[in-house]
DNA sequence: TTTCAGATACGCAATCTTGCAGTTGTGCAG
DNA sequence: CTGCACAACTGCAAGATTGCGTATCTGAAA
């Protein structure tokens, strides 16, 4: 990893940790972006070069650019022989619980528990990445015989609906994960299970 | 309708129309809240007493308070013998295409066509009203034999997933409606149709 | 080593959004 | 009619967000 890349990561990490520190100290409401920046020794303008909002700094969300190469790589990694599993895996891999595997994870979970609105950011993220995700899901659909005969417009609609349920299920799964202090395992499987259950019931 | 109520409606309408006027004149990007307020002869602070954001003024969204009485009334009106129809109807009645039946509707549709991001506001709305909507859907579920035996937690999950799909389908339906200059009829039926189709396919 | 295109950080100004407090107008009871 | 409680409007200030222009740094090629 080159110097530039290292420095970038350093700045980002400093901001992520500063965010946790300041929020723990002042509470989310009274934690200002300026304070986080002072803590991390960067300018407020730089903060927004890394995060789209104060919330994102806590959730460690970053709007990485997703070019086609990156997307297809994710799609390839998400392929299983079960469509629902695949879709959920794709969504998770592109924007799943970002805080996973960060330092201060326990602190983050505590913060999220005290400020549930932070989780609604998750839904917002899905919306923001809608186009990318839909494109990815279409790739998954094209590998599924049940959908391959549909028209382009139909596939677009189906992809979008699949994304909607997957996003919803993922949100529930993440919420459970948070409620369990980040200990429950396999968020993806749980999300897929939720989807299957509701579909089954609706078909009775 | 008393004087107070009439004046309130007047202010609101003035703001809605001012928003359209200013955006048509300056383009959404360069239309400022201040300009809209000047056009409507109210203070910028008042603007945010009616709308949560600039976008909402164009979409005519207003975060009406939804108390339990109001909610159950909506639920009652949405009841049909098809659960999916009911859910969609409920979501539409609580936050469907708000611009419907407003003056300058054609202008609004043009604006939305030119600024597709306005529609993502629709998803944001659903997120914001999530709790209310889920509560309403649970009322619908409790009237459905397929779900009545589920535990409270399960019903919550199922309601949330139903909301996710319905929201997604509604979004697609509204998008089609916009693309068709607001002429296509029965957005609700279209949304329900989309949901049924994808469920059917997933069950093959 | 020199050079240069692109990335990163930053300052600044314009907006948007929200909380708070003060003013004015409306509905209503006495 | 009078007075009160409340709703709507407003000004103000703090804080969040974004666009744009500038300066500095990094990677890599010449």
Q: How far apart are CA B136 and CA B141, in angstroms?
A: 9
Q: How far apart are CA A135 and CA A75, in angstroms?
A: 10
User: How do residues B140-190 score in pLDDT, each as one tens digit?
Assistant: 999 999 998 899 999 999 999 999 999 999 999 999 999 999 999 899 999
Q: Which residue has the tokens 């009545």?
A: B148
Q: Are B56 and B138 in contact (CB under 8 A)?
A: no
Residue A13: the pLDDT is: 97
Tokens of A99: 């805080």
8 Å CB contact of B202 and A146: yes
- If phi > 0 it is left, if psi is from -120 to 50 it is alpha, else beta; for residue B41 that is left
User: How do residues B3-59 score in pLDDT, each as one tens digit?
Assistant: 999 999 999 999 999 999 999 999 999 999 999 999 999 999 999 999 999 999 999
Instruction: Label each residue of B133-186 as H, E or C.
Output: HHHHHHHHHHCCHHHHCCCHHHHHHHHHHHHHHHHHHHHHHHHHHHHCCCCCCC
Q: Which of B163, B164, B199 comes nearest A199 by C-beta?
A: B199
Q: What 3-state class would DSSP assign to A149?
A: coil
What is the rounded average pLDDT of the residues B79-101? Answer: 91
8 Å CB contact of B172 and A158: no
**Which residues are in reach of strand D, CB within 7 A?**
A 2-5, 7, 31-34, 44-45, 48, 52-55; B 4, 7-8, 11, 41-46, 49-50
B46 touches strand C (CB under 7 A): no
Tokens of B102: 């407003």
Q: How far apart are CA B172 and CA B159, in angstroms?
A: 20
Kindly tell me the burial class for residue A183, based on how many C-beta atoms sit within 10 Å of its own C-beta (0-12, 13-18, 19 or more): exposed
Q: What is the dihedral of CA B104, B56, A174, A110, to 10 degrees?
A: 180
Q: What 3-state class would DSSP assign to B126?
A: helix
End-to-end CA distance of chain A: 55
Residue B202: the pLDDT is: 94
pLDDT of B63 above 90? no
Tokens of B64: 């009406």
CB contact, 8 Å: B179 with chain A?
A: no
Residue A169: the pLDDT is: 98
- pLDDT, greater one: B98 or A174: A174
- Enumerate the residues of chain B whose CB falls inside 8 A of the CB of residue A127: 120, 123-124
Q: How far apart are CA A175 and CA A117, in angstroms?
A: 11
pLDDT of A105 above 90? yes
What is the rounded average pLDDT of the residues A39-46? Answer: 98
What is the distance, to the nearest Å, from the Cα of residue A183 to the centroid of all Cα atoms in its chain? 18
């Amino acid at each position: 990893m080159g110097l530039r890349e290292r420095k970038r990561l350093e700045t980002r990490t400093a901001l992520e940790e500063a965010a946790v520190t300041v929020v723990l100290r002042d509470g989310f409401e009274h934690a200002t972006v300026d304070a986080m920046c002072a803590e991390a020794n960067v300018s407020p303008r730089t903060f927004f070069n890394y995060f789209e909002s104060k919330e994102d700094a806590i959730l460690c969300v970053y709007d990485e650019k997703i070019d086609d190469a990156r997307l297809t790589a994710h799609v390839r990694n998400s392929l299983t022989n079960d469509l629902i599993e695949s879709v959920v895996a794709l969504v998770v891999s592109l924007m799943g619980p970002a805080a996973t595997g960060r330092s201060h994870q326990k602190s983050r979970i505590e913060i999220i528990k005290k400020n549930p609105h932070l989780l609604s950011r998750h839904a917002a993220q899905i919306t923001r990445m809608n186009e990318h995700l839909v494109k990815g899901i279409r790739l998954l659909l094209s590998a599924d015989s049940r959908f391959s005969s549909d028209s382009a417009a139909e596939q677009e609609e189906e992809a979008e609906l699949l994304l909607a349920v997957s996003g919803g299920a993922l949100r529930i799964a993440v919420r459970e994960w948070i409620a369990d202090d980040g200990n429950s395992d396999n968020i993806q499987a749980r999300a897929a299970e939720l989807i299957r259950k509701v579909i089954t019931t609706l078909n009775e």
